[in-house]
Each structure stands twice: as C-alpha cells, then as structure tokens.
Amino acid sequence: MILGLVCALGSAALFGVAAVLQAHAMRGVPDGDPGLRTFARAAVRSWPIRAVVGAYLAGFGLHAVALWLLPLYLAQASISLSLPVTAVVSAVVLHERLEPGRWLAVAAVIAGLVLVALGAGGVEHTASAATLAVVGGLWLLVLGLGARWSIGAGAGVLGAWSGLGYAGTAVTTRGLDLGTPLVSLAALVIVSALGVVAFWLYSIALGRADVASSTAPLIVMQTCVPALVGVLAFGDTVRAGWTAAVVGGLALSIAGAIHLGRQPGSAAAGSGVRMSA
C-alpha cells in the first residue's frame, strides 16, 4: 500500500508539471487545432513536446505500479493531486492567477484524497487480461469516433473527452499480465493508442483555455470512470466502516476539480514556444 501511494503521488507530481509544460508549448503553435497526424509529425520535431512526453511516460510507469498495488479508485483519486500541482505551477510559470475560491478548491482536492487513502481496502484482479484488452479496444473505438465532435465542442468537452481516454488507459493497464504475453502486448498497444489520442485532445484544449479549466474536467472523468469500474467489475474494496468517507472524499476531490474549471480563462496567445523549435 505504501509503495503504491508513493508511486501514485510521484506520478501526480510529474503529470501536474507536464501539463503546464504542455500548455506552454501548445500556445506557441500557429494552428491551435492540428489534426492527429499533423500534431504527431510536429510533436516529433518539437523538443518541448518530446520533454512533455518523456515526463508523461515516467509518470505512467509510476502510475502503472500504483494501479496494480492500489484499488482503482485510490490510484485515480491520487492523480487528482496533479490538479493542485498544475494550478500552482501554472500560476508561477504561465502567470494564471488563482482566486481565493480556487485555492479552496485545491485544498478540497487534497483533503478528499486523504479521506480516500485512509479508507482504501484491498485489490482484486477479477477480470482477465483478454477481457480487458477487448474492453480497451472498444474504448479506443468510442474515443476515436467522438474525437472530432469533441474538437468542435469547446475546451471543457475536450478536457473531459481526453479524460475518458486516460480513464481507458487505467482500466486496460489492469489487464497487463506477464503470464499472457501476447494478450498483454495487445493491451499495451491499446493503452498506447488511447494515450496518444487523449494527449492530442488535451493539447488542443490547453491551447484554447487556461490550464486549470482544461485539466479539471479531465481529472473528473479520469477519476470517476475507473473508480466505478474498479468497484463494480474488479472487486476493489473499502475498509470496513469507511465507505461513506471514501465516497465523501471522492465527491470532495471531484467538486474541487469542477470548481477549478467553472470559470475558464483564455490562453494567452504566443505565450508558449513553437512546436517546431
């Protein structure tokens, strides 16, 4: 449990800093809404985006360990801590000021996470690797079909839809099993594809609005969906007598994330570095 929490918090810190660097890079892109292929080609040539990808990969490695050692709801709630990190770093680096109410929201996310951590129970791996690989494939299909719609719907929807993609990576990662290498390889490919599409949509959102407003809906989707899947399908448990505290902690963290995204600001044009740098 302790190792899982350390890995989860480490990944949250990496994700939080990476989000600010990602926003910094995207705001220097002449075309703020590049297609996936255009975005991928530009990202390969961009040292800032390569650095962001490296930070995300390191964070994902830590998060994968947390997903195996912790209940999904706790592993994902821990990622909520990346939002306060993002809010603080963006205030310093991008000069996106947080009003007192938003600082209270940051505190709510942290307090909610503490409640969830205190009430976390055991981990059960009740779904087979093959089942989760199939689920991940269907998840990727839904994400891809809705990608173009989300691009036309605004930064908040983009953030939520990218959060759905990252939720899919968390659920599918639970299917990785060294005992079934071929199935696990398929699951890893699906996880990578989900991550690429989610990263692309989130990048576009960061180019349109302030970091906190783009990230808040992502955190909500990334936390809620896997938490429900973990309890309903994987048999994740809660300590005896702590169910209300865990539910309340999740609600508090999610409410804080939503409040951070209620008043979206506009991204400062040209405040970042060009992806072609």
Main-chain dihedrals φ then ψ at residue 10, nearest 5 degrees? -65, -40
Would you state the pLDDT for residue 86?
78
CA atoms within 13 A on the CB side of 179: 4
For the entire predicted model, the pTM comes to 0.77
pLDDT of residue 165: 93
Question: What's the token pair of residue 147?
Answer: 């990608």
Return the pLDDT at 139.
92
266 phi, psi to nearest 5 deg: -95, 145
The answer to whether 189 and 172 have CB atoms below 8 angstroms apart is: no
What average pLDDT values come out for the chain (277 residues) when binned by 10 residues? 85 87 71 68 75 87 85 78 78 73 79 78 68 87 89 82 91 76 85 90 82 80 81 78 86 78 49 40
Task: Identify the pLDDT of residue 149.
Answer: 86
Q: What pLDDT score was predicted for residue 21?
A: 82
The whole-number pLDDT of residue 268 equals 44
Does residue 28 sit in helix, strand or coil?
A: coil
CA angle centred on 117, ends 111 and 118, rounded to 5°: 95
Cα(62)–Cα(11) distance, rounded to whole angstroms? 6
- pLDDT at position 261: 61
> Which secondary-structure segment (H or E) carries 127?
none
